Chains A and B, each alone.
Chain A
Amino acid sequence: MTKRWLSTIWLLLVVMPWQAQALIIEITGGTESALPIAIVPFGGEGFSAPEDISAVIQNDLSRSGRFAPLPAADLISQPHEKSDINFKDWRLLRSEGLLVGKVSSLDGETYQVQFQLFDVYKGQQLVGKRYQVPASGLRRLAHQISDQVYQALTGEIGVFSTRLAFVSIVNNANGSKKYSLQVSDSDGANPRTVLQSKQPILSPNWASDGERLAYVSFENGKAEVFVQEMRSGRRNSVAAFKGLNSAPAWSPDGKKLALTLSKAGNAEIYILELASGKLSRVTHNSQAIDTEAVWMPNGRELLFTSDRGGRPQIYKVSADGGRAKRITFEGRYNASPDISSDGRTLTMVHGLNGKFYIAVQDLDSGSVLVLTETGRDESPSFAPNGRMILYATEKKGHGELAAVSVDGRIHQRLGESGRDVQEPAWSPIRK
C-alpha cells in the first residue's frame, strides 16, 4: 500500500503540465485509388467556432488515404443543408459523397453542430445527426463525424476518434535523456504527457476500455510493469519480481495481463489476474526466450515470440499453457506480434538480410506480405478496425512513427521534429 502511495506521489511530482509538441501526420504514398468526396465548409452564423470542424474532417479523411477531398475551388456552391443542394450540379463533379453541415453557438459555451452526408447520385441522405457539445468537445466531435462518414462510404469502422500512445525521448545537452509516455488524438493533435521519467519507458498497451495503459518503466533501475488510469493519472506497480518484468498485454476482457517474467530463471510468459493478483505460468522453456505475448481476440489463446527453435519466431499457445505451435516460417527473424481485431491477420517485425520490416501474415493461408521499406521498422500495432498498422521507424537518425495499410498501398508518416518517437500503441475504439 505504501508503495502504491509512493508511486502516486512520484507521478504528481514528475508529470508537470507542459505542452507536448504535436505529431504532424502526412500521407506519403498510395492515394491513387482514393475516393473523391466533396466536403463543404460548415456554415456558422455570425461567429467563429473555436475549431474548424469541416477542416478537421477533411484532414481525417484525406490522411486515411481512402478519400480525396475535392479542392475548395472546385466546390460549385456552399450548401449547408439538403434544401440548398442541387444534386444535378454536384453530379458533374464525379464525387459520390457530399458532406454539409453547420455550427451555431447556443450560449457562447455550448455549440450545436449538425452534419448530413449525401449520396450525390441518388440524392439521398446516407447519415445525418445533430449534437450539442461544449467548445472543448468540438474537435472530438469532428473525429466522430469523420468516423461516421468513413463507415457510411466504405462499410468499415472509422478509427479517427481513437488515440495513440507512444514514447517520446528528448536528448539533453548533458547526455542524459528524458522519456515521456504520451497520448495524442489519432491525428497527432492534442498530445499530453501521462508519464515522464529519466529512465526508459517501453511497451505501452491499451486496455480494451481505452481507459488504462499498461507499460514497462525502468524508474526503479530495472524493467517493471505498471498500470495507469488515464483519467485520474493513478498508477500501480503490478509486476516487480526479481528479474525481468515486461511486455504487458491486456486480455480482451480487461481483467488480466499477459506478462514476461524471468523470476524463475529466464524469460517466460505468465498471466496475471489483476483483481486477485493470481499469477499463472503459461510457458515452460528454460532454454529459450519467451516474450511479447498478445491475446487472440477469443481471449483463450496467446501469440508470443520465442527463440526455442534457434531464432525468434512467433508461436501460438493456449492461455492455460500446454504445447505451443509455431506459426511463422518465412524468414529467420519474426517478432513483436500483433493481431487484427478479427483474429485473421498477424503483423510482426520481419527480419530479412539483417534488416527489419513490418509484415503481415494471413493466419489461414500463411502467406506473408512485407509492407515497409526502410529496414529499421519495429513495434507494429494494429488500428482497431484492422485496416492500418502503426509502427516505429527511423529517419535521418531519428525515431519516428509511421503507418501503413494492411495491403501495403497507403503510407503515412507521423513526424515530430527534434526528438525520437517510438513504441506506438493504437487505442481501441472508445465505447
Chain B
Amino acid sequence: MKLLKLTAVLSTVVWLSGCNTLGFGKDDPNAAVEGGEVAVEDRNADSSGIDGDNASGTDLDGAETQVIVGDDEFQGGDVLDDPNSPLSNRVVYFEYDSSTVRQEDIATLEAHAAYLGENVNVTIRLIGHTDERGSREYNLALGERRALAIRQILMLQGASVKQFQVTSFGEERAEVEGHSEAEWQQNRRVELNYIGR
C-alpha cells in the first residue's frame, strides 16, 4: 500500500514538473487568474525580463522542485497530504451564474478522479457555493448544480457515484466577505472535502 502511494507521489511529481506553468495555486483562489495574466506578460517579456517573483511563480526550476518533493514530511504519507500534489487543490471556481467547469480546472479534477478511482473506499463531499448576488434560494440550487457538475466530471474520469456526498450552501457561507467582484469570484466555488481527513 505504501509503495502504491509512493508511486502515486512520484508519478504526481513527474506530472507536476511537466505542468507547473499552469500554476497550481494550492489555496490561492486567484492563482488561475494570475496565471493567465502572467502568461500574457511572458509573451512580451523577452527583452524586458521577468522579475524574480514572476519567474519563481510561473517557471519553477528543477532545483526548487526537487527541494519540495524531497521534503521528508511527505515520504510514505498519503498523497492527499502532499501540498505539492494537484490533489491539494481542493477548491474549483466558477463564472457568475455558471456551473460550467473552467478549462484550467480540468487537470486538477482529473487528478482527483484518478485518486478516487484508485481508492474506491475514499468518499468526498462536494460543497457548492455562490456569490451573494440575486435570490438566495436560486443560489442554493445553483451551488448544488456546481457541485453536481464537478461530480459528473469526476465520475466520467473513473470515480463512482457512491463515493460522493453533494451539498450546497448557496450564498450563505462566503469565503470572503465583501461586495465587489474581487470577493465574489472567490465565493463562487465548489469545495472538495475528503471525508475523514
Q: Which A positions have Cβ atoms within 8 angstroms of B?
A: 200, 202-203, 218, 221-223, 243-244, 246-247, 260, 262, 265-267, 289, 291-292, 305, 307, 311-312, 333, 335-336, 349, 351, 354, 356, 376, 378-379, 394, 397, 423
Binds A, one of B8-16, B59-67, B84-92, B161-169: B161-169
- Inter-chain contacts of B133 with A (CB < 8 A): 354, 356
Binds A, one of B29-37, B70-78, B113-121, B138-146: B138-146
* Closest-CB distance, B185 to chain A (whole angstroms): 14
Partner among A311, A376, A378 whose Cβ is within 8 Å of the Cβ of B136: A378
Q: What range describes how many residues of B lie at the interface? A: 20 to 34
Please list the 9 inter-chain residue pairs (A to B) with the smallest Cβ-Cβ separation, ordered nearest first. Answer: A335-B135, A267-B141, A200-B172, A289-B141, A336-B135, A247-B137, A292-B137, A291-B141, A335-B138
Inter-subunit contact A349/B137 (CB<8 Å): no
A/B interface sample: 19 pairs, CB < 8 A: A202-B136, A222-B168, A244-B141, A244-B144, A266-B144, A266-B145, A266-B148, A291-B141, A305-B135, A312-B135, A333-B134, A335-B135, A335-B138, A336-B135, A336-B138, A349-B134, A378-B135, A394-B179, A423-B136
Residues of B3-34 whose CB lies within 8 A of A: none
- Complex: A336 Cα to B133 Cα, angstroms: 13
Q: Using A289-B138, A378-B134 as known contacts, say yes or no to A267 and B172 having CB atoms under 8 A apart.
A: no
- Inter-chain contacts of A378 with B (CB < 8 A): 134-136
- Complex: A397 Cα to B144 Cα, angstroms: 26
Inter-subunit contact B135/A202 (CB<8 Å): no
**Nearest opposing residue in chain B for A337, CB measure:** B135
- Inter-chain contacts of A335 with B (CB < 8 A): 134-135, 137-138
At the interface, yes or no: B97 with Cβ under 8 Å from chain A? yes
- Inter-chain contacts of B134 with A (CB < 8 A): 312, 333, 335, 349, 351, 356, 378
- Complex: A356 Cα to B86 Cα, angstroms: 38
Q: Using A218-B172, A289-B142 as known contacts, say yes or no to A260 and B137 having CB atoms under 8 A apart.
A: yes
- Complex: A222 Cα to B172 Cα, angstroms: 11
- Complex: A336 Cα to B179 Cα, angstroms: 21
Q: Using A244-B144, A267-B141 as known contacts, say yes or no to A223 and B168 having CB atoms under 8 A apart.
A: yes
- Complex: A394 Cα to B132 Cα, angstroms: 11
- Inter-chain contacts of B145 with A (CB < 8 A): 266-267, 289
Inter-subunit contact B169/A267 (CB<8 Å): no
Inter-subunit contact B140/A202 (CB<8 Å): yes
Write out, one digit per residue, whether chain B residues 144-173 have a CB within 8 A of any chain A CB (1) or not (0): 110010000000000000000011110011
Q: Which B positions have Cβ atoms within 8 angstroms of A?
A: 97, 133-138, 140-142, 144-145, 148, 166-169, 172-173, 179
- Complex: A356 Cα to B132 Cα, angstroms: 11
Given contacts A244-B168, A292-B138, 18 further A-B contacts (CB under 8 A): A221-B167, A243-B166, A244-B140, A244-B144, A246-B140, A247-B140, A260-B137, A262-B141, A267-B144, A312-B134, A336-B137, A354-B133, A356-B133, A356-B134, A378-B134, A378-B135, A378-B136, A394-B179
Inter-subunit contact A218/B169 (CB<8 Å): yes
- Inter-chain contacts of A311 with B (CB < 8 A): 97
Q: A244, A265, A305, A423 — which one has the most chain B CB atoms within 10 A of its CB?
A: A244
Main secondary structure of the interface of B (DSSP, over half): mixed
- Inter-chain contacts of A376 with B (CB < 8 A): 179
- Inter-chain contacts of A200 with B (CB < 8 A): 169, 172-173
- Complex: A200 Cα to B137 Cα, angstroms: 12
- Inter-chain contacts of B148 with A (CB < 8 A): 265-266
Inter-subunit contact A291/B140 (CB<8 Å): yes
- Inter-chain contacts of B135 with A (CB < 8 A): 292, 305, 312, 335-336, 349, 378-379
Q: Using A335-B138, A336-B135 as known contacts, say yes or no to A262 and B144 having CB atoms under 8 A apart.
A: yes
Q: Using A202-B172, A266-B148 as known contacts, say yes or no to A379 and B140 having CB atoms under 8 A apart.
A: no
- Complex: A376 Cα to B145 Cα, angstroms: 24
- Inter-chain contacts of A267 with B (CB < 8 A): 141, 144-145
- Inter-chain contacts of B141 with A (CB < 8 A): 244, 246, 260, 262, 266-267, 289, 291
- Inter-chain contacts of A397 with B (CB < 8 A): 179
* Closest-CB distance, A326 to chain B (whole angstroms): 16
Inter-subunit contact A202/B169 (CB<8 Å): no
- Complex: A371 Cα to B173 Cα, angstroms: 29
- Inter-chain contacts of A356 with B (CB < 8 A): 133-134
Inter-subunit contact A291/B137 (CB<8 Å): yes
* Closest-CB distance, B148 to chain A (whole angstroms): 7
- Inter-chain contacts of A260 with B (CB < 8 A): 137, 141
- Inter-chain contacts of A222 with B (CB < 8 A): 167-168
**Nearest opposing residue in chain B for A422, CB measure:** B136
- Complex: A202 Cα to B143 Cα, angstroms: 15
Inter-subunit contact A243/B137 (CB<8 Å): no
- Complex: A74 Cα to B1 Cα, angstroms: 90
- Inter-chain contacts of B168 with A (CB < 8 A): 222-223, 244
- Complex: A423 Cα to B142 Cα, angstroms: 18
- Complex: A202 Cα to B135 Cα, angstroms: 11
**Nearest opposing residue in chain A for B97, CB measure:** A311
* Closest-CB distance, A264 to chain B (whole angstroms): 12
- Inter-chain contacts of B97 with A (CB < 8 A): 311
Q: Using A222-B167, A356-B133, A376-B179 as known contacts, say yes or no to A291 and B138 having CB atoms under 8 A apart.
A: yes
- Complex: A218 Cα to B136 Cα, angstroms: 14
- Complex: A307 Cα to B135 Cα, angstroms: 12
Inter-subunit contact B138/A305 (CB<8 Å): yes
Inter-subunit contact B138/A223 (CB<8 Å): no
* Closest-CB distance, A378 to chain B (whole angstroms): 6
* Closest-CB distance, A381 to chain B (whole angstroms): 13
- Inter-chain contacts of B138 with A (CB < 8 A): 289, 291-292, 305, 307, 312, 335-336
- Complex: A351 Cα to B148 Cα, angstroms: 26
